[in-house]
Amino acid sequence: MGDYKFAKDKLAEVLSSLGDYQVFAPTPAGDVVRFLEVKDPAAVTLESANSTVPPKELMFPETETLFKYRLGDTGLDPSVPDASARRLVFGIRPCDAMAYTIVDNLFSWDFTDPYYLNRRENTTLVGFACGDPCANCFCPSMGGAPASEKGLDALMFDLGDTFYVKTLTDKGDAFAKAAGLDAAGDAESKAAEKQAEEALGKVKRSIDTAGIPEKLPSLYDHPFWEQFSDRCLSCGICTFLCPTCHCFDIQDEAEAFNARRARMWDTCMFAEYTVHTSGHNPRPTRKERTRNRISHKYSYFPEKFDVIACVGCGRCINNCPVNIDLLDILEKSKQAEGKEAKTA
Amino acid sequence: MSEEFEPNIVAFLCNWCSYAGADLAGTSRTQYLPNIKIIRVMCSGRVNPLFLLNALQQGADGVLISGCHPGDCHYLEGNFYARRRFMLMHKLLEHVGVDPGRVNMSWVSASEGVKFKDVIEEVVTSVKEAGPMDQFRRRQLNW
Amino acid sequence: MVDLKELQDKAKEVISRDDVRRLIGWQRGTYGFESAPIVVTDASDADKLIFDPTCVQNPASFITLEEKRPVPRGQEPDTRKVAVMVKGCDSRAIVQQLVEKAYPRENMIVMGMPCRGVIDRRKAAALFGDVTPDEVKLDGDKVVVSLNSETKELARGDILADKCMRCRYPNPLVSDELMTEEVEKWGADEFADVDEFEKMSPADKWKFWEEQFSKCIRCYSCRNVCPMCYCVECVVAKLKPQWTRRSTDISENAAYHVQRAWHLSGRCIECMECQRVCPVDIPIMTLNRKMTRDVKEMFDYEPGVDVEAEPLLACYNPQDPEDYIM
């Protein structure tokens, strides 16, 4: 674990020296930023805001083949990712890295999911601290920070014309060695500390989550949900762009003689999410689905795993077409009067 | 010598006119190109443009919808609706970059066995020119 | 210019009526230049209503989004009316929904809001950054943004949505009452954007769309926000049989977008909401605008304009064009 640095104008060089890894970095296309494999190191920039689609798609791709099968096969051949491959995510924000640590709980719970976990194992996460948090970020309220180290192998800071890199794990050290980074001194680490403190002060929005997980079940029948669900479009923007949302559907796609079983992102906001084979839908309207999503992330998930399934990245707030504001919902839930929770 | 590309074309033929016309071509021992796979529907108005898309996704290189001549529809108006639909679908697919030669429509009556043969020839030629369809094709088909 | 107090009082009056169940309009958003749709069921909420250039969303979508719950035994269905505030473009959605008999006209109270344009939030963010303005209003030919007791005037073209600069229907085409005076049309629309795209070769067109459709995450926000997409079960959600697979393969993504554009041909009323809401910036309206133009040219038909019209594909003309048909 050490302190390193490199000059900003050497960014492309540093990336080029990581030929041993499959490198992913934030890639802007107009206003949309997405983590894509780096084809041209000179095109990588860390100047844009956080990616639109979170890097969860690097561990948990939107569509993924679980296994393929052909007519006449006698066994299955799972398409599990190689745990010993070498991948590197360059420029992941602390909120997204923290999100991985939250989702890890789910994918190693009742079934250890090799598709997700092998990717987690084979990936080095080189984080990028936020110097200027966006208007709707609230990571400190969720246990994070603009320079949080949770889940990262290394953390970079933009110090003007230098990047300061603090390695946190062996994987991080391996990255620093592969990239041939120079050692950094006290000046850089002190500047980074100062930046982290200032950035924390720049975060504008917050919520005190104390009591929310316990309160939400008592608001099951409360009409306050309707003031949000009335305008919900039931689309998948909040869920697909959320770094901690992790639901998926599994479907077989068959042709005449061969097929694959694939999983793809699903969202509890779609009307057909919980439709039973009988045709009955236990969450027929947006009220039930909105209530369910918030309750899952802020009550049921923490009940199981002791952590709220939210990192305060603000993507849901920024991208909701009808301005359903998560922090507004949580504030209103604190003010609403609950009833005794129903018991089975 | 490379094998010449033999397109796979799905043809939706209306039962009363076009299918009968194709049948006549057959009973008259008219030789027509074997590239088309015929699906009989009761009326061209029954053809949902999503069938076209689905055919292209499943590996068809081109499609043909054929019905009774306007005014002669067995169900009086079906082909009028079909005409509107497929004029629009043709334009839409062209706008997406699908070669217009892939989406074909014709009016073939029950007595036009020879015309049927000619239509097939024209369709196969235009699809051959367009080449193998790769745009909408489901990638898994290549496993 | 809308007098806000007058608007809110009028809304209070409407929602207090015995025969009105809900009123759909806009409220102030929680940050930046946002506005949010609001469904008012009680007169006390009427003072949350606003109308200014930030009111981008189409309230007509929320009429059909409301789910029809089964009525418990012994109860009568609630047949009270729904009031909705609509701009010019939004009103076309109501007209088209009426053409398609989505609901009876008597069930609706349409409060028309002649509109001179709504802002494009991306342009606003580029100009002002991450700030929340105190007020945004239109003053003659300028957009006036008040921020921290300073006002900034902008040319309409610099901050308004592109669709507004070529607006064909600034005044509502259906209304029970107009909340402000009608405005004079300022723009013309020659579908220059469609002409420009058509200049590309087929190969280039596909290259363009392949890149765009590959970005699609199938969130279905475009479909759900659309006032004309109100099927209870959408064909892409069907499983028996399954037409479009759920995987985000280029084949399925392309099929989805072509299907949707197809289902909207002769029905899309160009509110452009689909393109605004797309989180990955797919230029969806490029497809729909092409269909709008072709429908006008081929069939002399414009959706959402005449309540007495028939839906385009439910009628025909024996002289309809058939230029590529053999």
Mean pLDDT for B56-61 is 94
Chain B residue numbers touching A70 (CB-CB < 8 A): 143
pLDDT of residue C240: 86
Q: Are residues C213 and C291 in the same domain?
A: yes
Reply yes or no on whether the pLDDT at A221 is more than 60.
yes
Q: Are residues C128 and C215 in the same domain?
A: no
Closest approach of C71 to chain A, Cα-based (Å)? 14
Closest approach of C242 to chain B, Cα-based (Å)? 10
Q: Are residues C158 and C292 in the same domain?
A: no
Q: Do B96 and C316 touch (CB under 8 A)?
A: no
Residues C25-52: tens digit of each pLDDT: 999 999 999 999 999 999 999 999 999 9
User: Which value does ipTM take for this structure?
Assistant: 0.95
pLDDT of residue B124: 97
Helix, strand or coil, per DSSP, at residue C83 = strand
Residues C201-260: tens digit of each pLDDT: 999 999 999 999 999 999 999 999 999 999 999 999 998 899 999 999 999 999 999 999
Amino acid letter for position B83: R
Distance (Å, whole) CA A267 – CA A273: 7
pLDDT of residue A343: 56
pLDDT of residue A36: 94
Handedness of CA A115, A118, A121, A127 (dihedral sign): negative
Task: Number of A to C CB contacts under 8 A, please give it.
Answer: 111
Maximal CA-CA distance, chain B: 51
Q: Do C219 and A237 touch (CB under 8 A)?
A: yes
Q: Are residues C138 and C275 in the same domain?
A: no
Helix, strand or coil, per DSSP, at residue A268 = coil
Task: Number of B to C CB contacts under 8 A, please give it.
Answer: 110
Q: Do B136 and C254 touch (CB under 8 A)?
A: yes
Mean pLDDT for C88-100 is 97
Mean pLDDT for B29-56 is 95
Distance (Å, whole) CA C185 – CA C171: 8
Distance (Å, whole) CA A324 – CA A46: 29
Residue C326 is assigned to a structural domain of this protein: no
Distance (Å, whole) CA B36 – CA B73: 23
Distance (Å, whole) CA A338 – CA C142: 48
Percent of chain B with pLDDT over 70: 96
Q: Do A237 and C32 touch (CB under 8 A)?
A: no
* Of A29 and C174, more confident: C174
Q: Kindly state whether A332 is in contact with chain B, defined as any CB-CB distance less than 8 angstroms.
A: no
Q: Are residues C23 and C137 in the same domain?
A: yes
CA distances from C53 to A232, C90, C124, C319 (A): 22, 14, 12, 44
Closest approach of B143 to chain A, Cα-based (Å)? 7
pLDDT of residue A344: 52
Q: Centre a 10 Å sphere on the Cβ of residue A311 and count the other Cβ atoms it contains.
A: 32
Angle in degrees, CA C99, C103, C104, rounded to 5: 85
Closest approach of C86 to chain B, Cα-based (Å)? 30
Chain B residue numbers touching A77 (CB-CB < 8 A): none
Q: Do A135 and C130 touch (CB under 8 A)?
A: yes
CB burial of residue C139 (10 Å; 0-12, 13-18, 19+)? exposed
Q: Do C220 and A235 touch (CB under 8 A)?
A: yes
Residue C284 is assigned to a structural domain of this protein: yes
Domain termination site, one of C153, C178, C203: C178
Chain C residue numbers touching A273 (CB-CB < 8 A): none
Encoded tokens for A308 = 């709220």
Residues C143-171: tens digit of each pLDDT: 999 998 899 999 999 999 999 999 999 99
Q: Are residues C109 and C217 in the same domain?
A: no
Q: Which A residues, 85 through 124, put their C-beta within 8 Å of a C-beta on chain C?
A: none
Residues A187-217: tens digit of each pLDDT: 999 999 999 999 999 999 999 999 999 999 9
pLDDT of residue B1: 43
Amino acid letter for position C10: K
Residue (of C5, C76, C77) closest to C47 by Cα position: C5
Closest approach of A4 to chain C, Cα-based (Å)? 33
Q: Which B residues, 2 through 21, put their C-beta within 8 Å of a C-beta on chain C?
A: none
pLDDT of residue C221: 97
- Residue C187 pLDDT class (50, 70, 90 cuts): confident
Domain termination site, one of C178, C207, C237: C178
Distance (Å, whole) CA A205 – CA A223: 26
Contact A37, A53 (CB under 8 A): no
Q: Are residues C146 and C58 in the same domain?
A: yes
Q: Are residues C51 and C154 in the same domain?
A: yes
- Residue C20 pLDDT class (50, 70, 90 cuts): very high
Closest approach of B137 to chain A, Cα-based (Å)? 12
pLDDT of residue B2: 54
Residue C145 is assigned to a structural domain of this protein: yes
Which residue among C35, C246, C281 sits closest to A264, beta carbon to beta carbon? C246
- Residue C1 pLDDT class (50, 70, 90 cuts): low
Mean pLDDT for A324-334 is 97
* Of A44 and C84, more confident: C84
Handedness of CA C159, C95, C113, A318 (dihedral sign): negative
Q: Are residues C89 and C146 in the same domain?
A: yes
CB burial of residue A342 (10 Å; 0-12, 13-18, 19+)? exposed
Q: Kindly state whether B1 is in contact with chain C, defined as any CB-CB distance less than 8 angstroms.
A: no
Distance (Å, whole) CA A298 – CA B28: 74
Beta-ladder partners of A235: none
Q: Do B50 and C235 touch (CB under 8 A)?
A: yes
Q: Kindly state whether C179 is in contact with chain B, defined as any CB-CB distance less than 8 angstroms.
A: no
Residue C186 is assigned to a structural domain of this protein: no
- Is pTM beyond 0.90? Reply is yes
Q: Centre a 10 Å sphere on the Cβ of residue C181 and count the other Cβ atoms it contains.
A: 10
Contact B108, B117 (CB under 8 A): no
Q: Looking up tokens 């909340």, which residue turns up? A: C179
* Phi–psi pair at B68, nearest 5 degrees: -70, 155
Q: Do B92 and C204 touch (CB under 8 A)?
A: no
Reply yes or no on whether the pLDDT at A341 is more than 70.
no
Total of domains in chain C: 2
Q: Kindly state whether B91 is in contact with chain C, defined as any CB-CB distance less than 8 angstroms.
A: yes
Give the domains, in start order, of chain B with CATH numbers. 9-142 (3.40.50)
Residue C187 is assigned to a structural domain of this protein: no
Residue C293 is assigned to a structural domain of this protein: yes
Residues A261-310: tens digit of each pLDDT: 999 999 999 999 999 999 999 999 999 999 999 999 999 999 999 999 99
Handedness of CA C223, C227, C229, C232 (dihedral sign): positive
Q: Centre a 10 Å sphere on the Cβ of residue C191 and count the other Cβ atoms it contains.
A: 17
Percent of chain A with pLDDT over 70: 99
Of the listed ranges A149-153, A267-271, C45-49, C70-74, the least confidently predicted one is: C70-74
Closest approach of B49 to chain A, Cα-based (Å)? 22
Residue C244 is assigned to a structural domain of this protein: yes
Q: Kindly state whether A328 is in contact with chain C, defined as any CB-CB distance less than 8 angstroms.
A: yes
Mean pLDDT for all residues in chain B: 93
Q: Are residues C21 and C79 in the same domain?
A: yes
Q: Are residues C157 and C49 in the same domain?
A: yes
Reply yes or no on whether the pLDDT at B3 is more than 80.
no
Reply yes or no on whether the pLDDT at A321 is more than 80.
yes
Residue C263 is assigned to a structural domain of this protein: yes
Look up the domain containing C129 and give its range.
4-178
Q: Are residues C164 and C197 in the same domain?
A: no
